């Protein structure tokens, strides 16, 4: 685009300086995001919503930073330099980055407490660094010979993307949090130097005069609202995509940064001088939405790499399409900071909707399909098959053909709804889905028809099942996840799922009502350990359970024992106290239930408080990383009696946690065995892996000897080092075959 080239005679030597300054600022900005969220995991339990809360704060601070840049740009250039450089130096006092010291969150107030923690921890420095991109672009155009600044925005987002990728691939695996914080502080020092050099390069350049500002073309309110919508939808969609990935795979910076990285990369493509890539992605975006958006209402079935990858592809194409439209509607350079301010407001609005409003309003992640439909309503639609413009085709006949296509789509949707959730109909589902995509492409000339076909496909691909579950009131949503309680009359079972993962079940048959099921059957590791407890620990053993679930383990208690449950989510406790699950009421009515983060609560316990301590606190398949670090095990061992038995549940589809636990056992000098249970009755019981650990070898030997027919195996070779609060990486332990859907 000719308007973005530097004019002849322009000071070319300074353009790389501004590019470098914008790049470094954005790199630091998005390196700090996963770093601070990772710092907070030990306090926040690893819930997927932690990242969404962090992103909500970041977007609010980004909006504030853009507002600061807009306010500053109204001053003369020397005054801008003086104020901004002084503020940057003042913010050095908040370095190195560390979490603010706050009292623990009260149960149920995590959605407010988490943003407040992030705001106090990184607010001032994040606000100032976030102002870099618009402010440096404003300083860049202060010289009339510099040219248009839009390519600098692409450089900004490339820096952001680089910062995000650097964190999980290099910073997190190689550096401790202390080293990461120190490195970030050094990078901030480099940024100050670059900002000062940029200011020096514009010495003598006059800021835009008031008359020039007035002469700039005014922006109508309607266009500003269009900017707002085009920026809000991709932002919200990025967070809803993150929720899916971190709920059903694992909560880690590795997966936090993928949606955010793609979102930022979309700006690089959309705001680039060369428009070819943006136009190509914009053309194919509706096809991608029709293909992968159809799965947006599906709420049953495990996530696979294919669906996760499809969701990421959908996010990227939607973001490029809408951001390209945003670029097409950009104002002249005189309204630059206004444009970025509205864009930041849209991003914050999307984050507010997804991270704060939706969890309070919806019982499921309904924001995800709603945002996809909003994207379909906003994105440019290029008619790929121009059949309605064929020579001799009457417009009325075209409308009749349209109605026939929609009727066919409805018939296909009914058939797809009938077979989509059956395991033996894969080929039919594939063919029906392809036909639905084809119809969506054929009706693309009518936006309302395209959106309607997309809705049909969503409902057919498992959406009707999701809708019925909401209408029946089977779901509850909290800060820690989405829970579904459903009765199955044929098998006489009541089942609790968290995300798409079985969380527990109870028989509706009075004769079997108090029999523990799923991961807690008689042949499971915990089942055998608790059965052996009277012999190993005596008749008055003190039992601690981290993670209540349905309360199944309560019915493994024997008279005389003292039981304590630790549960972080009030919703889970309510299932037991309201009678939906009766294990706790029927089997351990005198048990103490401690509401709050188990690690923090166990730190308050007296040394040697428990003879058996079971750690069973997974959220769907997301790893509660803060419960598996060296520091966490030190808390458990302090709370455990010298001859006590520590049981850790590590069943996980995507991460092999045994080497992590083995590394802790080696470091602490613990004796350990692992049991992988494959029960015969798969309707009542679920395969599970438990690890038993103790300081006393007789406890492990006694457990193994009491169950000679059920093998307890030595642990796998340990990881090079245990996870710590300061340093942990899941990369070496990912089961990539499981992510692809293979067993």
Helices (H), 356-483: 358-361, 367-378, 395-419, 426-442, 447-458, 464-471
- The whole-angstrom separation of Cα 105 and Cα 139 is 43
State residue 406's pLDDT score.
92
3-state secondary structure of 215: helix
Q: How confident is the model at residue 255 (pLDDT cuts 50, 70, 90)?
A: low
Ramachandran assignment for 518, one of left (phi > 0), alpha (psi -120 to 50 degrees), beta (any other): left
pLDDT at 304 over 60: no
Average pLDDT of the residues in 644-649:
95
State residue 69's pLDDT score.
85
Q: What is the pLDDT of residues 309-332, one digit of tens each?
A: 888 899 999 999 999 999 888 887
If one compares 185 and 139, the residue with the highest pLDDT of the two is: 185
Report the percentage of the chain scoring pLDDT > 70.
85
* Domain 212-479 sits in CATH 1.20.1250: yes
Q: What is the pLDDT of residues 222-236, one digit of tens each?
A: 999 999 999 999 999
**Cβ–Cβ contacts within 10 Å for residue 17, how many?**
17
Choose which CATH entry (3.30.1490, 1.20.1250, 2.60.40, 1.10.3470) describes domain 10-207: 1.20.1250
- The whole-angstrom separation of Cα 454 and Cα 409 is 10
Of 91-100, 211-220, 644-653, 713-722, minimum mean pLDDT range: 211-220
Average pLDDT of the residues in 21-50:
76
Ramachandran assignment for 319, one of left (phi > 0), alpha (psi -120 to 50 degrees), beta (any other): alpha
Q: How confident is the model at residue 212 (pLDDT cuts 50, 70, 90)?
A: very low
Of 348-357, 420-429, 617-626, 657-666, minimum mean pLDDT range: 617-626
Place of tokens 């499921």: 364
Of 9-18, 262-271, 275-284, 687-696, minimum mean pLDDT range: 9-18
State residue 214's pLDDT score.
43
Q: In Å, what is the CA distance from 32 to each residue of 97, 165, 287, 409?
A: 9, 12, 35, 47
If one compares 557 and 479, the residue with the highest pLDDT of the two is: 557
Whether 511-739 and 10-207 are alike in CATH topology: the answer is no
Q: Look at strands 671-677 and 493-498 and give their pairing.
A: unpaired
Q: Edge to edge, what strands does the sheet with 640-649 contain?
A: 592-595, 562-567, 542-546, 610-615, 640-649, 688-694, 671-677
The closest alpha carbon to 24, from 71, 88, 68, 119, belongs to 88
Helix, strand, coil fractions of the chain, as percent rounded to 5: 60, 10, 30
State residue 619's pLDDT score.
52
State residue 258's pLDDT score.
80
Q: Where are the domains of the chain?
A: 10-207, 212-479, 511-739
pLDDT at 737 over 70: no
State residue 210's pLDDT score.
41
Report the percentage of the chain scoring pLDDT > 90.
34
Of 189-198, 247-256, 474-483, minimum mean pLDDT range: 247-256
- Copy the structure tokens of residue 51: 């990242």
State residue 317's pLDDT score.
95
Q: How confident is the model at residue 16 (pLDDT cuts 50, 70, 90)?
A: confident
Q: How confident is the model at residue 605 (pLDDT cuts 50, 70, 90)?
A: very high
pLDDT at 111 over 70: no
User: By the 8 A CB rule, do 580 and 503 touch?
Assistant: no
pLDDT at 594 over 90: yes
Q: What is the pTM of this model?
A: 0.77
Most confident of 1-5, 425-429, 525-529, 730-734: 525-529
Rounded to the nearest 10 degrees, the angle between the axes of helix 177-201 and helix 77-91 is 160
Q: What angle do CA 313, 37, 503 make, to 5 degrees?
A: 70
Q: How confident is the model at residue 252 (pLDDT cuts 50, 70, 90)?
A: low
State residue 305's pLDDT score.
61
pLDDT at 500 over 70: no
CA dihedral 624, 366, 463, 375 (to 10 degrees): -120
If one compares 730 and 148, the residue with the highest pLDDT of the two is: 730
pLDDT at 343 over 90: no
* Domain 511-739 sits in CATH 3.40.50.150: yes
Name beta bridge partners: 693: 646, 672
DSSP string, 635-651: HHHHHEEEEEEEEEE--
State residue 461's pLDDT score.
87
State residue 425's pLDDT score.
62
If one compares 356 and 581, the residue with the highest pLDDT of the two is: 581
pLDDT at 46 over 70: no
pLDDT at 127 over 70: yes
Average pLDDT of the residues in 123-149:
79
The closest alpha carbon to 684, from 494, 557, 550, belongs to 494
- Copy the structure tokens of residue 117: 């923690």
**Averaged pLDDT score across all residues of the chain:** 83
- The whole-angstrom separation of Cα 243 and Cα 203 is 47
End-to-end CA distance of the chain: 51
The closest alpha carbon to 568, from 523, 611, 618, belongs to 618
The closest alpha carbon to 617, from 668, 705, 545, 546, belongs to 546
User: By the 8 A CB rule, do 371 and 259 touch?
Assistant: no
State residue 208's pLDDT score.
47
Q: How confident is the model at residue 543 (pLDDT cuts 50, 70, 90)?
A: very high
Length of the chain as a residue count: 743
Residue 579 burial class via C-beta count within 10 angstroms: exposed 0-12, middle 13-18, buried 19 and up: exposed
State residue 530's pLDDT score.
95
Average pLDDT of the residues in 554-572:
92
Place of tokens 């059965």: 531
User: By the 8 A CB rule, do 164 and 264 touch?
Assistant: yes
């Amino acid at each position: 685009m000719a308007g973005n080239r530097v004019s002849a005679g322009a000071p070319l030597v300074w353009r790389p300086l501004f590019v470098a300054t914008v790049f470094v600022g954005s790199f630091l900005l998005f390196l700090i995001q996963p770093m601070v969220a990772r710092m907070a995991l030990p306090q926040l339990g690893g819930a997927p919503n932690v990242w969404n809360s962090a992103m909500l704060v970041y977007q609010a601070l980004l909006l504030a930073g853009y507002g600061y840049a807009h306010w500053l740009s109204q001053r003369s250039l020397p005054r801008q330099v003086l104020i901004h450089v002084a503020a940057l130096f003042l913010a050095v006092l908040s370095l190195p980055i560390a979490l603010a010291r706050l009292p623990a969150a009260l149960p149920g107030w995590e959605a407010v407490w988490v943003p407040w923690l992030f705001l106090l921890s990184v607010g001032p420095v994040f606000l100032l660094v976030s102002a870099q991109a618009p402010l440096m672009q404003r300083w860049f155009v202060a010289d009339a010979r510099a040219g248009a600044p839009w390519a600098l925005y692409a450089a900004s987002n490339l820096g952001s993307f680089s910062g995000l990728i650097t964190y999980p691939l290099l910073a997190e695996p190689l550096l401790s949090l202390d080293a990461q914080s120190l490195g970030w502080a050094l990078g901030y020092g480099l940024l100050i130097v670059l900002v000062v050099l940029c200011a020096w390069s514009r010495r003598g350049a006059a800021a835009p005069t008031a008359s020039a500002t007035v002469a700039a073309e005014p922006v109508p309110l309607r266009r500003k609202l269009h900017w707002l919508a085009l920026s809000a939808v991709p932002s919200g969609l990025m967070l809803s995509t993150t929720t899916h990935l971190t709920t059903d795979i694992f909560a880690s910076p590795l997966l936090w940064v993928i949606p955010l990285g793609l979102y930022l990369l979309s700006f690089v493509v959309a705001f680039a001088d060369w428009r070819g890539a943006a136009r190509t992605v914009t053309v194919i975006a509706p096809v991608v939405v029709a293909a992968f958006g159809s799965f947006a209402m599906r709420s049953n079935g495990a996530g696979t790499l294919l669906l996760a990858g499809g969701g990421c592809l959908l996010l990227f194409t939607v973001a490029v399409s809408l951001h390209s439209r945003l670029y097409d509607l950009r104002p002249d350079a005189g309204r630059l900071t206004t444009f970025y301010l509205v864009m930041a407001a849209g991003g914050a609005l999307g984050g507010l909707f997804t991270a704060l409003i939706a969890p309070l309003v919806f019982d499921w992640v309904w924001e995800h399909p709603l945002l996809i439909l909003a994207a379909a309503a906003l994105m440019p639609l290029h008619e790929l098959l121009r059949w309605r413009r064929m020579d001799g085709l009457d417009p009325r006949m075209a409308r009749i053909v349209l109605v026939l296509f929609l009727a066919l789509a409805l018939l296909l949707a009914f058939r797809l709804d009938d077979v989509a959730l059956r395991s033996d109909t894969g080929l039919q589902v594939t063919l029906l889905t392809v036909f639905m995509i084809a119809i969506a492409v054929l009706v693309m000339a009518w936006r309302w028809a395209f959106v309607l076909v997309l809705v049909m496909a969503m409902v057919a691909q498992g959406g009707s099942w999701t809708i019925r579950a909401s209408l029946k009131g089977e779901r509850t949503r909290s800060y820690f996840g989405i829970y579904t309680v459903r009765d199955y009359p044929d098998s006489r079972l009541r089942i609790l799922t968290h995300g798409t993962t079985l969380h527990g079940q109870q028989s509706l048959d009075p004769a079997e009502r108090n029999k523990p099921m799923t991961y807690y059957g008689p042949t499971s590791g915990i089942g055998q350990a608790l059965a052996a407890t009277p012999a190993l620990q005596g008749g008055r053993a003190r039992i601690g359970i981290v993670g209540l679930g349905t309360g199944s383990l309560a019915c493994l208690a024997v008279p005389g024992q003292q039981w304590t449950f630790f549960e972080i989510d009030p919703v889970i406790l309510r299932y037991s106290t309201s009678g939906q699950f009766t294990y706790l009421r029927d089997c351990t009515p005198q048990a103490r239930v401690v509401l709050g983060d188990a690690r923090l609560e166990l730190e308050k316990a007296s040394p040697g408080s428990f003879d058996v301590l079971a750690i069973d606190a997974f959220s769907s398949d997301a790893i509660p990383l803060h419960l598996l670090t060296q520091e966490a095990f030190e808390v458990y061992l302090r709370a455990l009696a010298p001859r006590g038995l520590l049981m850790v549940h590590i069943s996980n589809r995507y991460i092999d946690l045994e080497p992590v636990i083995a590394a802790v056992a080696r470091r602490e000098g613990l004796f350990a065995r692992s049991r992988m249970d494959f029960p015969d009755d798969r309707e009542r019981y679920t395969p599970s892996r438990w690890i038993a650990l103790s300081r006393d070898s007789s406890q492990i030997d006694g457990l193994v000897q009491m169950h000679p027919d059920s093998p307890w195996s030595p642990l796998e070779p340990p990881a090079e080092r245990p996870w710590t609060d300061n340093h942990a990486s899941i990369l070496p332990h990912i089961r990539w075959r499981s992510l692809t859907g293979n067993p």
